[in-house]
Chain A
Amino acid sequence: MLNFKLTNKKLHTALLISGSLFFAACGGNTSEGENSDLTGSIQIDGSSTVYPITEAVAEEFRTEAPNVKVTVGVSGTGGGMKKFTRGDIDIVDASRAMNADEQAAAQGNDISFEQLSVAYDGLTVVVHPENDWVKDITVAELKKIWEPGAQGTITRWNQVRPEWPDQELHLYGAGVESGTYDYFTEAIVGKSHSSRGDYTASEDDNVLVQGVSTDPYALGFFGYAYYEENKGKLKAIPVNDEDDSNGTGAILPSLETVKDGSYTPLSRPLFIYVNSKAVARPEVVEFVNFYLDNAGELSQEVGYIPLPEEEYNKQKQKFQKFATGVGASANNQQ
């Protein structure tokens, strides 16, 4: 049994190497074809933001390899990372990059891994649809609103920009346990996990949608999909990063602006991390390749923004290098 697995793996690696040239050449959404004799199980856990994409991929993978049991959990990026760095799971969904503590934990448990980007999410700054004074907002203004020092002092709209009305400013945002919060604070305040505390926080973006859509003096942020589904009840605000090298002026999040990188700094990549030991199993290699082949189409279907095609090819090459180089110190190759 073990022997069979080993030969199967070698065969697969060979297939992969020849396949990589093929992928690079045509770059299409091709997969390696039916693989109904592939068996085993793949355990995935982590971010609830990335979950819909992984769920969609796992669902489609069933037609590709019906005998492979793929399971997906939603313990959150932090919870998933804990399991991943202990070696409990094969792949972790992450809505932020692995932090230094988690990398140290992985190293301590002798686990090496590869980070792969699978899609983008555009964090969208929103106000109530009847708010007619905010036409755009700069990153500096967002920082002024959200930094820890703003607590209790920046409470009115005209404190942010003098021509805005002298009205109370009500803030809505992601709860502090979420990867969304970490990313937003990193991008806006400049320091991850650091912001004012006096805002309405929820881990459930639907609650934030509800809040902003019923409060004329609200300002909030959440994932693009939640804005997209509730366009009628919300107004998105173009964000100006005051850096004209990546698109001039204030830019609204959209499929195009997130994809081409002009909606900065609030578009964020979503990741999966793959354990090197898991890559020794052919079903995992097959699954990850299938993931990268289909993530573009499927991520859009569940409300996220696909990476550009050449970026998926880059991720695939990165993974192939990782999969073939497993056993060696495959860690940290970017």
Chain B
Amino acid sequence: MTNSDINRYKDKAFQIFGIFCTLIGLVVLAVFLIDIAIDGISRIDWDFLTSLPSRRASSAGIYTAWAGTLWILVLTAVIAFPLGVGAAVYLEEYSRKTKLANFLEINIANLAGVPSIIYGLLGLEIFVRQMRLGGSLLAGALTLSLLILPIIIVTTRESIKAVPRSVRDGSYALGASKWQTIWNQVLPASFGGILTGIILALSRAVGEAAPLIVIGALAYVPFAPTTPLDEFTVLPIQIFNWTSRPQEAFLTNAAGAIIVLLCITFLLNGIAVYLRLRQQKKVKW
């Protein structure tokens, strides 16, 4: 066997290993989705989506849960978007490479690894108690914003970094100020990447139950929220609650609610993919 034969086998072996790794993830996901679909798809109908929670599994619905989830989603996006992008622009464009900047960067990276329940405890003390927001949508959205800020900052910085030096230089050469360059060139060029990051961060926030339970999100709420200061529940809490019930029928309900939650996440991810593709077509350097 020659050297090049051995290399060819190694190449082949690594290829098979790679396919195997990819398949593991996909197969697990497929098994999970099929299992959930079998359990829950028959449960989803108009009544399920428009009914209030109930002790009877067959008449219980997820109306207030998905309404709460949508509220949380929109509020969190509104809060986290400007904060995250602002911080990223500062770190990437304005801050000098000082010790402080270094310190900030390391901490943001660390924050991304903090367990979500810790953010819940932080939110409980600051937003619920100090700011007296109570267990409201606003307190929940602020807490989740903290949770996803590090992800948004990191992805936004990456997309800003990807804007070529020549674009900035061109802008400066035409006499634009730093702010004009950022606003008219850098941000539009990196917008697709920024949006993708935000939407992926939001799809993480939408699946969180633990930090929201800590700040006082409820399980039984018989009305859909109408203002950001209303109390609320979200789909993950409803799912968690149903899976811990002794009656089998509630597990079917949980499966149904999981499908709805998955649809929301898939929809968000779909939007992210669409925006990225559209952006790629639009930006031509």
| CA distance in complex: A51, B238 (Å) | 12
Contact of B246 among A51, A69, A223 (CB under 8 A): A223
Contact A58 B213 (CB under 8 A): no
Contact B244 A56 (CB under 8 A): no
Stretch at the interface among A20-28, A224-232, A249-257, A262-270: A224-232
What range describes how many residues of A lie at the interface? 20 to 34
Contact A55 B243 (CB under 8 A): no
Chain B residue nearest to A53 (CB atoms) is B55
* Max chain A Cβ within 10 angstroms of own Cβ: one of B53, B135, B220, B247: B220
**CB of A64 within 8 Å of the partner chain:** no
| CA distance in complex: A64, B216 (Å) | 27
Contact B213 A74 (CB under 8 A): yes
| CA distance in complex: A302, B56 (Å) | 8
| CA distance in complex: A244, B285 (Å) | 90
Contact of B221 among A56, A71, A301 (CB under 8 A): A71
| CA distance in complex: A73, B209 (Å) | 13
**CB of A31 within 8 Å of the partner chain:** no
**CB of A75 within 8 Å of the partner chain:** yes
B249 CB to nearest A CB, Å: 10
**CB of A247 within 8 Å of the partner chain:** no
Which residues of chain A (180-217) have a CB below 8 Å from chain B?
204-206
Chain A residue nearest to B217 (CB atoms) is A73
* In the complex, chain A residues whose CB is within 8 Å of the CB of B247: 229, 303
**CB of A62 within 8 Å of the partner chain:** yes
* In the complex, chain A residues whose CB is within 8 Å of the CB of B213: 73-75
What range describes how many residues of B lie at the interface? 20 to 34
Which residues of chain B (213-233) have a CB below 8 Å from chain A?
213-214, 216-223, 231
**CB of A321 within 8 Å of the partner chain:** no
Contact A73 B135 (CB under 8 A): yes
Contact A62 B246 (CB under 8 A): no
Q: Mark B79-100, 1 if CB is under 8 A from A, else 0.
A: 0000000000000000000000
| CA distance in complex: A302, B243 (Å) | 15
Which residues of chain A (65-115) have a CB below 8 Å from chain B?
69-75, 83, 88
Contact of A58 among B135, B216, B220, B244 (CB under 8 A): B220
Contact B246 A303 (CB under 8 A): yes
| CA distance in complex: A206, B247 (Å) | 10
**CB of B177 within 8 Å of the partner chain:** no
**CB of B248 within 8 Å of the partner chain:** yes
Contact of A52 among B52, B55, B217 (CB under 8 A): B55
Which residues of chain B (231-260) have a CB below 8 Å from chain A?
231, 237, 241, 243-248
Contact B244 A73 (CB under 8 A): no
| CA distance in complex: A69, B217 (Å) | 15
Chain B residue nearest to A70 (CB atoms) is B222
* In the complex, chain A residues whose CB is within 8 Å of the CB of B53: 55, 59
Contact A71 B231 (CB under 8 A): yes
| CA distance in complex: A303, B244 (Å) | 13
Contact B219 A74 (CB under 8 A): yes
| CA distance in complex: A259, B55 (Å) | 22
Contact A226 B246 (CB under 8 A): yes
A259 CB to nearest B CB, Å: 19
**CB of B54 within 8 Å of the partner chain:** yes
**CB of A48 within 8 Å of the partner chain:** yes
* Max chain A Cβ within 10 angstroms of own Cβ: one of B213, B222, B241, B246: B246
Contact B246 A204 (CB under 8 A): no
Contact B55 A229 (CB under 8 A): no
| CA distance in complex: A48, B213 (Å) | 12
Q: List 21 A-B contacts (CB under 8 A).
A: A43-B231, A55-B53, A58-B222, A59-B54, A59-B55, A59-B222, A69-B222, A69-B223, A70-B220, A72-B218, A72-B220, A73-B216, A73-B220, A75-B213, A75-B214, A205-B246, A206-B246, A223-B246, A229-B246, A230-B246, A303-B247
